[in-house]
């Protein structure tokens, strides 16, 4: 019997939620769920259609990318997940999608501006987009370098991964994380909605401005601040 039944179940349910929310098609995307104490994580297998997935299909991998349990090949993005888990021990789940509006912003190489209170309810910063990966990084260990790119972008800009739980990879797509796999999926859903709203805002008014600082602080702090009171 597996020693990772609960972890596999958490991972499976999060992946199926990604599918049910319309954030992935075919075999695109992946979610992982980690057990930081044991130094392992469960991740979706590569190339298996969502309708064929089961909890037992989830592959258990350690933070050095060694398969601990499972007969299938883990997601091609496994090294990105493992690198983030090793560097950010406060996260318990990671989601990667190819959701339409999130990817469109990634391909545009633009941060998503804070245009409204829906955005500010979740984070007080623009949603960051990394630069395009260098040729050397692409030709190297690409998937691990994707993780390095995220870490470096956050470090260079003094971003806190506990506050900004999402990023756009330039010319690629979004990665989100959270305290659990389900939280990372929730953040993926939020990111896609914010990306859609920002796109439509610029269509309606190409000269739209960010909302003022006072509104950003009010909406963020009432939900996440020391004296938070908003629970929608």
- Which residue shows structure tokens 């695109």? 28
Distance CA(162)–CA(46), nearest Å, equals 28
What do you get for the CA distance between the two ends of the chain, in Å? 41
Give the CA-trace dihedral at 206, 208, 210, 214, to 10 degrees. -170
Rounded CA-CA distance 46/72 in Å is 8
Buried b (16+ CB within 10 A) or exposed e, 21-48: eebbeebebbbbbbbeeeebbbbbbeeb
- Active-site choice (115, 121, 161, 220): 121
The tokens for 2 are 């597996």
In the annotation, is 230 catalytic? yes
- In the residue annotation, 121 being an active-site residue is answered as yes
Active site residues: 121, 230
């Amino acid at each position: 019997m597996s020693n990772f039944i609960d972890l596999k179940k958490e991972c499976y349910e999060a992946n199926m939620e990604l599918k049910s929310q319309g954030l992935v098609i075919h075999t695109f995307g992946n979610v992982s769920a980690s057990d930081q104490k044991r130094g392992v994580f469960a991740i979706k297998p590569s190339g298996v259609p969502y309708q064929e997935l089961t909890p037992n299909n989830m592959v258990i991998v350690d933070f050095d990318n060694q398969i601990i349990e499972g007969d299938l090949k883990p997601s091609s993005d496994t090294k990105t997940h493992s690198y983030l888990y090793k560097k950010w021990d406060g996260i318990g789940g990671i989601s990667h999608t190819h959701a339409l509006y999130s990817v469109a912003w990634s391909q545009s190489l633009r941060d998503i501006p804070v245009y409204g209170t829906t955005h500010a309810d979740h984070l007080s910063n623009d949603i960051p987009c990394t630069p395009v990966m260098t040729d050397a990084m692409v030709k190297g260990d690409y998937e691990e370098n994707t993780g390095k790119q995220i870490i470096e972008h956050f470090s260079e800009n003094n971003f806190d991964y506990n506050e900004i739980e999402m990023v756009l990879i330039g010319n690629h797509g979004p990665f989100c994380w959270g305290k659990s796999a389900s939280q990372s999926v929730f953040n993926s859903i939020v990111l896609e909605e914010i990306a859609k709203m920002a796109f439509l805002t610029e269509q309606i008014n190409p000269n739209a401005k960010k909302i003022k600082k006072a509104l950003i602080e009010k909406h963020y702090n009432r939900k996440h601040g020391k004296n938070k009171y908003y629970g929608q």
